[in-house]
Amino acid sequence: MAYWLLVQLALNGIATGCLYAILAISFAVIFAPTKTFHFAHGSVYVYGGYFLYQFAMEWGWPLPAAVPAAVLAAACLGVLVDRAVYTPLRKHGAGVMEILLSAFGTFIVLQNVLLLIWKSDPRTVRVPEGLKNGIPFGPLTLTPMDLITVVVAGVVVAGVAVFMRRTRLGKAMRALENDPEVAVMVGISTERVRMAAFFLGSALVAVAAVLTALDKGLEPTIGVNALLVAVVAMIVGGVGSFSGAALAGLFLGIVENLGIWQIPSEWKSTITFSVLAIFILFRPTGFFGHRVARYSE
Amino acid sequence: MMTREAFKWIRPIRAAMCGLVALALAGMVGVAWAQEEFKYGAVSPVTGPIPQFGEYFIRGSQLALEDLEKTGWIGGKKIRIVLEDGKNDPKVSLAAMNKLISVDRVPIVETVGSSVVLALGPVAQQNGVILTNTAAQNPNIRKIGNFIFSLVPLADRVMQSTAVHAVEGMKAKTAVMLYVNNEYGRGVAETFKKIFEEHSGKIIGHEIHAQGETDFTTPLTKIKFANPAIVFFVGHDNELGYALKKAKQIGMKIPWLVAPGVFTPLSLSIAGDAAEGVQAADYNFDPVAGTERMKAFGKRHQEKFGVLPTFATAHSYNSVTLYAAALKAGARKPAEIRDYFLSVKNFDGMAGPLTFDKEGITTEQPVMRVIRGGKFVTLK
């Protein structure tokens, strides 16, 4: 029976890891080309979930309409944060620390605005009956939301990979990430790429928020954990590597779940940060990326 | 450049301005005198992991103030709530408490959360300020001092009937405890374990979750495979809702027993039909099937805020109205208010008659309830 538990934990880990992979890619899509430590990304994540709640529960929209609307609204919010906060600061010559502080401030402001609009009560989004019950396989159980998360993560990873390699905008984002000066010299519009990065990253984090809202529930404070997981996965995956971020997200989810096989589950986040510490000490380039230090220069 | 002509106007203007400032100050003093009021402090988690308890306080105290206003306050003098956000964090709450005592000079402070009550209690005792607890259950609260009053029964009393119900009512020989990682969770779980094992039950495992946790997949998976007779849950109402929802998703069929005050309308709204059959130790306050007064309070709360009130809302209402009763009886200093609280017998509270024992803990006894058809049904 104990080994079935191990298998179940591994399956749970894959589902959790897929969600982490989406979070990691969403952060990496913004951080790699813009070099902005977008702390308010955690708030955009929470807003993505609350937008879904507003559309589906308060306004009664069907889920097929509410989900894309929530993703779009969160994407616009991400762009708005960049345009209203980071861009003016950057134009005034703000450095990494100033941007980081402003991002932290924006995170707090957005969280308080959320409390004003939706209050602090937890919110849930009603899901169709078919998604509520697990599917048993002998002693194991898979939930429909786990399966949906795995499929969505697969689509997101493949979609981002194709976007980055095949589209002009994706190539421009990679060029900006590799060498901003040369990218400008060859005529790439940094402003346009920044907007695209914030739009895409915010849309992706909203996808993760939608999955969380449907599977678990919404609290105003869930953004911090999501952001931490995204950052850890991005670093472990290797800064600048989207496939590395996705793989690291999956890796973290599985390690977190298997790690608590014989110890209480409260140690999950300790395991996450232990993985981060090990990577920073022994493999600072992560799975596939560059040294983090390069980005603070 | 200013001329000599211009200078001659400065003195009268300055005099006029001084006069105006003096008049304004006198007016302010006059207004302050006319609006003298009683203060009621609160350190409540308006934000942080359990912000719903901040809302429970705000709603309960608001309804209490409305009722006091209808009856002409305290000889015409209002009670003003001075609310500080403690975030359910002992350090933040301590700073808020010190501000309430030294700056606002409140004679009484209401709060919730075992970790917070255990942190604020000694400060209240040292400064001779009343501290009322409207939701915390850690049994160590009893030992803090004679300025601390609990409007909810503590775990040492409540767990007796809860653990006995587990063994005799639910016929459980084994249990796994799932509790929140703070003073409240640990205090209640340890007390339950002691009494459950004294009655020949056996705790075969425990899982701990963070405050405000929404993802219970991992601890519930482990509990499912441990296969105890019951799951004993200690935490907050939102956490319980998420846990029950996930338990149903992963096909867990083990019966649940829940610590007092955890199961609220919020848990039910999150868990939905996954809450069916859950048994819970609970307080007397029942806005649906309780006394006519409780039902009227429930209806009024529902109309005003769109949701049914919780036990914590009712106890916040009680705490404010009890303070008002003490003021009406002539108590002004904290020591006088304390003596009034201790002398009260069967105070007409919203959660039933309220009497404190000599240690300042309510004598209320919990009741056992079960969720049937989406409603709380009291077990005989």
Per-residue pLDDT of chain B (380 residues; tens, 9 = 90+): 444 554 455 554 455 555 545 545 444 444 433 447 999 999 999 988 888 899 999 999 999 999 999 999 999 999 999 999 999 999 999 999 999 999 999 999 999 999 999 999 999 999 999 999 999 989 999 999 999 999 999 988 889 889 999 999 999 999 999 999 988 899 899 999 999 999 999 999 999 998 888 889 999 999 999 999 999 999 998 999 999 999 999 999 999 999 988 888 889 889 988 999 999 888 889 888 889 999 999 999 999 998 899 999 999 999 999 999 999 999 999 999 999 999 999 999 898 899 999 999 999 988 899 999 888 888 86
What is the extent of the structural domain holding B243?
156-282
Nearest to A217 among B51, B207, B242 (CB): B242
Distance, CA of B242 to CA of A248 (rounded, Å): 27
Domain contains A293: no
Q: Which of residues 247-286 of B touch A (CB under 8 A)?
A: 248-251, 266, 269-270, 272, 274
Asked if B224 and B250 touch (Cβ cutoff 8 Å), the reply is yes
Evaluate whether residue A56 is within a structural domain: yes
Residues B212 and B141 grouped into a single domain: no
The C-alpha of B283 sits at a distance from chain A's nearest C-alpha, in angstroms, of: 22
**Nearest-by-Cβ selection for B207 from A16, A132, A265:** A265
Residue B116 lies in a domain: yes
Q: How far apart are the first and last CA of chain A?
A: 52
Taking the C-alpha atoms of residue B194 and residue B198, their distance in angstroms, rounded to an integer, is 6
The CATH number of the domain holding residue B174 is 3.40.50.2300
Look at A12 and B210 and tell me if their CB atoms are within 8 Å. Answer: no
Please check whether residue A216 lies inside any domain of the structure.
yes
In a domain, B58, yes or no: yes
Interchain contact, A217 vs B245, CB within 8 Å: yes
Strand ranges for chain A from DSSP E: 135-137, 140-142
Do B143 and B8 lie in one domain? The reply is yes
Total of domains in chain B: 2
Residue A232 lies in a domain: yes
**A–B: how many Cβ contacts below 8 A?**
98
CATH number at residue A13: 1.10.3470
Q: CB-based contact (8 Å) between A266 and chain B? A: yes
Give the three-state DSSP class for B77: strand
User: Is there a single domain that holds both residue B137 and residue B221?
Assistant: no
Are residues B234 and B174 part of one domain? yes
Q: What is the pLDDT of residue B32?
A: 38
> Going by DSSP bridges, is the β-strand pair B352-354/B347-349 parallel, antiparallel, or unpaired?
antiparallel
Residue B120 lies in a domain: yes
Query: What is residue A291's predicted lDDT score, i.e. its pLDDT?
Result: 52
Cross-chain Cβ contact B225/A4 below 8 Å: yes
Mutate: best of B208, B214, B227, partner A, most A CBs <10 A: B214
Using CB atoms, pick whichever of B49, B238, B248 lies closest to residue A133: B248
Are both B26 and B160 inside the same structural domain?
Answer: no
**Which of B46, B52, B245 shows the shortest C-beta gap to A121?**
B52
Same domain, B195 and B239: yes
For A123, name the nearest residue in chain B, comparing CA atoms only.
Answer: B270
Q: Domain count for chain A, please give it.
A: 1
Domain annotation covers residue B374: no
Q: Are residue B105 and residue B116 in the same domain, yes or no?
A: yes
Looking at the fold, whether B243 and B204 belong to one and the same domain comes out as: yes
From A119, A212, A265, residue closest to B218, measured CB to CB: A265
> CB distance from A8 to chain B under 8 Å?
yes
pLDDT in tens, A186-205: 888 889 999 999 999 999 99
Mutate to test the interface with A, among B112, B221, B308 (most CBs of A within 10 A): B221
> Is residue B366 included in any domain, yes or no?
no
Do B194 and B234 share a structural domain? yes
CB atoms within 10 A of CB B210: 18
Residue A188 included in any domain: yes
Query: From the CA of A5, how many Å to the nearest CA of chain B?
Result: 6
Stretches where chain A sits below pLDDT 70 are 1, 289-297
* The pLDDT of residue B23: 46
Question: Is B273 in the same domain as B330?
Answer: no
The answer to whether position B46 is within a domain reads yes
Domain check: are B303 and B248 in the same one? no
Read off the pLDDT of residues A226-275 as tens digits, 9 standing for 90 and up.
999 999 999 999 887 888 999 999 999 999 999 888 787 778 888 888 88
| Residue B240 belongs to a domain | yes
> What is the residue range of A246's domain?
2-119+144-282
pLDDT at B164: 93
Q: What is the pLDDT of residue B60?
A: 96
Check CB contact of A278 with chain B, cutoff 8 Å. Answer: no
Asked whether the ipTM of the predicted complex exceeds the cut of 0.90, the reply is no
What residue in A sits closest to B274 (Cα-Cα)?
A132
pLDDT of residue A12: 94
| Residue B305, min C-alpha distance to chain A (Å) | 12
Q: Do A134 and B251 touch (CB under 8 A)?
A: yes
Specify whether B126 is located in the same domain as B164.
Answer: no
In this prediction the pTM is 0.81
User: A229 to chain B, minimum CA–CA distance in Å?
Assistant: 14
The verdict on residue B316 lying in a domain is yes
